[in-house]
Amino acid sequence: MLYIFDGTVYGFLTAFLEAFHDENALLCSREKQLVLGYTPVFVTTDEARAKKAENRLKSFDGDCLRDLQTLLRCGQADSEQVAFAYFRALANAKRPIRNDLSKSEVFQATEYIKKVGLEIHRFHGFIRFMETASGALYAPFAPDNDICELLLPHFRARLPHYPFVLHDTVRKKAVVYDGEHTFSAPLDKADILLSANETAWQSLWRKYYDAVNIPARERLKQMRGYMPVRYWKFMPEKNKYSP
């Protein structure tokens, strides 16, 4: 059976209960393509059952829900199935298993959690804000994982007095900090009017980048390792962004 849930934590936990005894079960959200050869079962989220499952799993491992939230944000196509295998192993073991890396389901889940954490760390440095005419800051980016909300606390702490928008152009969503409150919203395309100073600031940044670069000691392979090419699109020192 292919158990299709709504992509939420409680949706996953409801599907987890439904699929637990199905040895060939596959779990995915509604956003994923149906798998040929599997009969789809659309699971309706049952918050009461999900909370009971949550409490039971947390009795085995107090930090396991944090792992689940991270796995559900992973951009890998099979991340929800990996989460299902991991949590079924946890439920069977009735104890923390995150250090049992000899188990394939634990190893795979750990690798996916690391991928999300690494990308969060990278975007702490790779995000490039642009100043808009209103004075708010706007930063488009295209992450591999659904990390928009996870980046918000870092930039809110760094920029407590500046309203800003983090725009995930892949998932067409944004998180907004208005200087006091934060919220998420769908955002397909943003028509941004830049401030009069923004073009000058971007030009100055490119000049600085060129000035510190040493052509004779260029290490492109190393650069791509530290700064993956897929992130360059929204970095003014690498490519000019056109809103």
Our separate counts of H helices and E strands in the chain read 8, 8
**What digits encode the pLDDT tens for the residues 41-100?**
899 999 999 999 999 999 999 999 999 999 999 999 999 999 999 999 999 999 999 999
Distance CA 203, CA 78 (A): 42
User: What's this model's pTM, rounded to 2 decimal places?
Assistant: 0.85
Buried b / exposed e over 134-160, threshold 16 CB at 10 Å, is eebbbbbbebbbbbbebbbeebeeeee
Yes or no: say if 148 and 171 are a contact pair by the CB < 8 Å rule: yes
User: Which tokens sit at 76?
Assistant: 């890998």
Task: Kindly give the parts of the chain with pLDDT less than 50.
Answer: 240-243
The pLDDT value given to residue 241: 39
Alpha helix stretches (DSSP H) within 6-165: 9-19, 47-60, 64-73, 79-93, 104-126, 148-158
Distance CA 63, CA 153 (A): 20
CA distances from 192 to 135, 159, 205, 242 (A): 12, 20, 20, 10
Which of 171, 124, 113 is CA-nearest to residue 143? 171
The pLDDT value given to residue 56: 97
